[in-house]
Structure 1
Amino acid sequence: MHDYDLLVVGSANADLVVGVDQRPAAGETVLGSDLAIHPGGKGANQAAAAARLGARTTLLARVGDDAYGRMLGQAQRDAGADTTGLLEGKDAPTGVALITVDSAGDNSIVVSQGANARLTPQDVAAARPLFQAAAVVSLQLEIPLETVAAAALTAAGSGARVVLNPSPPAPLPDDVLGLCDPLVVNEHEARRLLEGRTEGGSGNDLPGTPEAWAEALLELGPRSVVVTLGAAGALVATPGTATVRVPSPAVEAVDTTGAGDAFTGALGWRLGRGDGLVDAVRYAVRVGSFAVTRAGAQESYPSAEEIEKAGGTGGTSEKGTLT
């Protein structure tokens, strides 16, 4: 029996959000809504999403000794997550994400890493008891790559399952790829990981179907792959078996910010509970689709009761997205 269903190692940011009719092109100025400030960061989002669903969750992350850092700690506690691993320091400000959300609910994001860039392999080593207590460790790439690698290796050495979303996308070391179970990507992330590795070497064009993308990704070494497909849901691939498509419920999207994190947090929790990968993805698709129906990132995440009441599986919507 593990103390934690899920340990998330990653970023914690303050999200500064402005709504616009249309996101600006290069050199263009547009008027937006009043500024809204929300707790965010891919790591903090995933931990909050899992905790709201009822997971025993903790977050290993760094924040600054400032108002944003205190806000992020309180948001984790409000979601029900343990904050033992949330490290506060004076050497850097809390990370900030600058987000614009257009009238269709799509977003563009620029991240200032701040304290996230100071999460080190030494922090991972000091937190080894958290890894030993966790069934699943979830990772993203808004912290230094050497820290991601240290966390993946520490998780594997502790017997924990590794879930990794390479966002923002960057090349991953082979030893880290080999531990991913699953590697979770959207189309953009799949394209970046396959750059230079597809036939012809350019990587500019993905193979013809999502099934082919997943097969190409499996050849890089992960133990399993999950590809999120926006309104079409997600696809699950494991070596030697047929890929499985999981459809998404039909929803009207309000704001896609953090929906992919809701998906990954829910996925990690269900795997930590002992679900098979396909069943875990089915549940995670429902959670991610629910999240896009509300504004914000962590504020949009549902409880298990809300998911149960929403019910329904299958069906797709052009406006429902998982990114």
Structure 2
Amino acid sequence: MKILVIGSFMMDLVVRTPRAPQKGETIIGTDFSRFPGGKGANQAVSAARLGGEVTMVGMLGNDRFGDDILDELQNNQINTKFILRNDGSSTGVGFVTLEEDGNNRIIIVPSANLQYKPADLSHVQDLIKEADIVLVQLEMDLKVTEKAITFAKQFGIPVIFNPAPARTLEDHLLQKVTYLTPNETEAEILTGVKIKTLEDVKHAGRHLVNRGVENVVITLAEKGAYIIDRNGCEHVSGFPVAIKDTVAAGDAFNGALAVALVSGKSLMEAVHFANAAGALTVTKEGAIPSVPYLYEVEKFIQKYETSNRLN
């Protein structure tokens, strides 16, 4: 299961607080932590912990944060041979405000992530050609993401495109995407459709399919996810859990989706598996530290299904 992640690295600086401050307000937080993360790194670790053979491509600063993130990836058996280091830019950082209810507000400073250029990607075309699936996001230069998707399309390799942080995208790019995985907010930004109900979710998904996406999977947090393609729509239920920290839940979902698809599961089965991985992630703090292992996801699903049968 060769999974290639082309994406970002962030050192997450997390402040826990009873609530986020209002404009001009200072409040006292309750805790501070530092966790390796970034959407690309989170997704790579998720796929690796779930059994994927993962290679990561991107750029770190030549600094302590970069060293720590590289160590974390290598500890998770991820191939880091093609990760570049930049002397002129620091490793990306994410400033996370985590409220008591588990919700978060995040500001990222991509720094070295944006120094990875399309010319750098040209040197790893063979990695794309040899992959079983490619994961990309939007914390890098958009031109890099576009080129990665174009290469994958050219080589006939399926792409999971997690369009986050959200921005508007051109149809010519969406037409090359195999699986688009926005959450509700990202789907609104991509389509202009205000999402308040499941009917709105389906409408936004159809909009994206009509623009050329092959499969749209809109994630709905505890409500699961909706699959929309040219054959119709299907809701895949989520898993109810006690929320501690929602950081990296979407990334765990995407890594799990990649592993499940490459292992031969149907899209419905893959989304069910990915929903479980995402649910487990919100029960722990931090980005990479919260991403579950395969045995945890399998045990969680088995326990959930057994409970449903008994009820």
| TM > 0.5 fold call | yes
Partner of 1:282: 272
Look up the SS of the partner of 1:36 in the other structure.
strand
Partner of 1:215: 206
Partner of 1:186: 183
1:148 aligns with 2:139: no
Partner of 1:97: 94
Which of 125, 134, 144 is the aligned partner of 2:122?
Answer: 125
Which of 247, 262, 276 is the aligned partner of 1:272?
Answer: 262
Partner of 2:221: 230
Look up the SS of the partner of 1:243 in the other structure.
strand
C-alpha distance in structure 2 between counterparts of 1:61 and 1:273, whole Å = 25
How many Å apart are 1:122 and its aligned residue?
0.8
Give the letter aligned to residue 124 of structure 1.
Answer: L
Unmatched 5+ stretches in structure 2: 307-311
Please tell me whether the aligned partners of residues 97 and 112 of structure 1 are also in contact (alpha carbons under 8 angstroms). Answer: yes
Partner of 1:175: 172
Give the letter aligned to residue 70 of structure 2.
Answer: G
| Change beyond 3 A, Cα 1:127–1:161 | same
Look up the SS of the partner of 1:26 in the other structure.
coil
Please tell me whether the aligned partners of residues 247 and 286 of structure 2 are also in contact (alpha carbons under 8 angstroms). Answer: yes
C-alpha distance in structure 2 between counterparts of 1:134 and 1:20, whole Å = 42
How many Å apart are 1:176 and its aligned residue?
1.6
Please tell me whether the aligned partners of residues 137 and 164 of structure 2 are also in contact (alpha carbons under 8 angstroms). Answer: yes
Spell out the pairing of 1:64-143 with structure 2 (5 A cutoff). Answer: 64-143=61-140
Look up the SS of the partner of 1:180 in the other structure.
coil
How many Å apart are 1:78 and its aligned residue?
1.4
How many Å apart are 1:206 and its aligned residue?
7.2
C-alpha distance in structure 1 between counterparts of 2:49 and 2:195, whole Å = 38
Which of 242, 253, 265 is the aligned partner of 1:263?
Answer: 253
Partner of 1:16: 13
Which of 45, 58, 62 is the aligned partner of 1:61?
Answer: 58
Spell out the pairing of 1:27-46 with structure 2 (5 A cutoff). Answer: 27-46=24-43
Deviation per residue, 1:111-142 (Å, 9 max, x gap)? 00110111111111111121122111111100
Give the letter aligned to residue 274 of structure 1.
Answer: G
C-alpha distance in structure 2 between counterparts of 1:210 and 1:83, whole Å = 37
Partner of 1:318: none
Please tell me whether the aligned partners of residues 11 and 42 of structure 1 are also in contact (alpha carbons under 8 angstroms). Answer: yes
C-alpha distance in structure 2 between counterparts of 1:62 and 1:205, whole Å = 35
1:298 aligns with 2:288: yes
How many Å apart are 1:275 and its aligned residue?
2.0
Look up the SS of the partner of 1:209 in the other structure.
helix
Q: Report the structure, 1 or 2, having the larger helix content.
A: 2
Unmatched 5+ stretches in structure 1: 196-202, 316-323
How many Å apart are 1:82 and its aligned residue?
1.1
Count of residue pairs the alignment pairs up: 304
Deviation per residue, 1:78-108 (Å, 9 max, x gap)? 1221112211110210000000100000000
C-alpha distance in structure 2 between counterparts of 1:282 and 1:260, whole Å = 14
C-alpha distance in structure 2 between counterparts of 1:33 and 1:286, whole Å = 29
How many Å apart are 1:204 and its aligned residue?
5.3
Greater mean deviation of Cα atoms: 165-174 or 182-191 = 165-174
C-alpha distance in structure 2 between counterparts of 1:251 and 1:272, whole Å = 27
Q: Percent identity?
A: 34
TM-score normalised per structure 1: 0.90
C-alpha distance in structure 2 between counterparts of 1:42 and 1:302, whole Å = 15
| Change beyond 3 A, Cα 1:306–1:110 | same
C-alpha distance in structure 2 between counterparts of 1:73 and 1:62, whole Å = 10
C-alpha distance in structure 2 between counterparts of 1:248 and 1:80, whole Å = 29
How many Å apart are 1:34 and its aligned residue?
3.5
C-alpha distance in structure 1 between counterparts of 2:169 and 2:15, whole Å = 32
Root-mean-square deviation (Å): 1.6
Which of 44, 49, 52 is the aligned partner of 1:52?
Answer: 49
